[in-house]
Amino acid sequence: RTVYVNGDYLPEDQATVSVFDRGFLMADGVYEVVSVLDGRLLDFAGHMARLQRSLDELAMANPLSENDYLDAHRALVARNGITDGLVYLQVTRGNPGDRDFAYPPEGTRPTVVMFTQSKPGLADQPAAKTGWRIVSVEDLRWGRRDIKTVQLLFPSMAKMEAKARGVDDAWLVEEGKVTEGTSNNAYIVKGGRIITRDLSHDILHGITRAAVLRFAREAQMQVEERSFTIDEAQAADEAFVTSASAFVMPVVEIDGQPVGAGTVGPVAARLREIYLEESRKSAV
């Protein structure tokens, strides 16, 4: 693979970052994942807007313009021959030359790293036909989940717990309410209404979430933004998650209980279809 580091395109085994990089020492960095279908980038502007917001929240300068990022995304897709897959982008606070809790002086160059992941047939994941099974896990992450930081240890632990229990993912629960999945936003459908947690510091403001809710409203579906419990989810007609890499993924079982008929429901299936169709149209 060819990867990107601070303006250079390098073979992956020649790309390096300092041991003092604050991304490495302090998880002081943010990231984005953009999906690629037919060689084109989905929801690119949305991901760039969220990147800027994450950087602003951490008082980190954005070293590149949106156009620079677009050029780099396209260059990596072309150089690596990606038809379907993902582009990972990470911006960390860079290398102050030593370890210190205080941020380095202004002018310290942020480190920008990008790489691709090839996923042939990404839009035709067989799991979309059968759905995911999930378990609930207490949400022990920090209080600013709206910032897309590279501090992903707790979601990794929750994913490992899900795997150990033989299922696909975990839904995180705080004060009795579902926050989100390990790397996706969570939804239920009841009586035709699509219910998903409202935006706050408690969850990541998913770019796919924003698009799916917009398409749902345009299709005259009822959307309710509020939190819900695992009990309510188990009693729902349908459940699903959204993310840049899973698009709209049905959830058919929660903590061993089937959701609805325990099969992929019509609302999740329809939203997946609409999302893929519309986001391909606006891909760049």
End-to-end CA distance of the chain: 22
**148 an active-site residue?**
yes
Told to check if 272 binds ligand PLP by CB under 6 A, we report: no
Q: Is residue 264 a contact partner of residue 273, using CB atoms and an 8 Å limit?
A: no
Could you tell me the smallest distance in angstroms from the CB atom of residue 10 to ligand PLP? 26
Told to check if 149 binds ligand PLP by CB under 6 A, we report: no
| CA nearest to 242, candidates 195, 207, 194 | 207
Options 82, 89, 207, 264; binder of ligand PLP; rule CB under 6 A = 207
Options 54, 111, 149, 184; binder of ligand PLP; rule CB under 6 A = 184
Told to check if 180 binds ligand PLP by CB under 6 A, we report: yes
Phi, psi of 199 (to 5 degrees): -75, 140
Told to check if 3 binds ligand PLP by CB under 6 A, we report: no
Told to check if 183 binds ligand PLP by CB under 6 A, we report: yes
Please give the residues from 28 up to 87 whose contact with ligand PLP meets the rule CB under 6 A: 33
Q: Is residue 90 a contact partner of residue 33, using CB atoms and an 8 Å limit?
A: no
Q: Which is nearer to ligand PLP, 86 or 94 (CB)?
A: 86
Q: Which is nearer to ligand PLP, 95 or 202 (CB)?
A: 202
Helix (H, G, I), strand (E, B) or coil at 213: helix
Q: Is residue 170 a contact partner of residue 141, using CB atoms and an 8 Å limit?
A: no
> Any idea what DSSP says for residue 149?
B
State the Cα–Cα distance between residues 158 and 156, nearest whole angstrom.
5
Please give the residues from 87 up to 106 whose contact with ligand PLP meets the rule CB under 6 A: none
State the Cα–Cα distance between residues 240 and 47, nearest whole angstrom.
21
Options 2, 185, 234, 279; binder of ligand PLP; rule CB under 6 A = 185
Residues labelled catalytic:
148
Contacts to ligand PLP by CB under 6 A: 33, 180, 183-185, 204, 206-209, 242-244
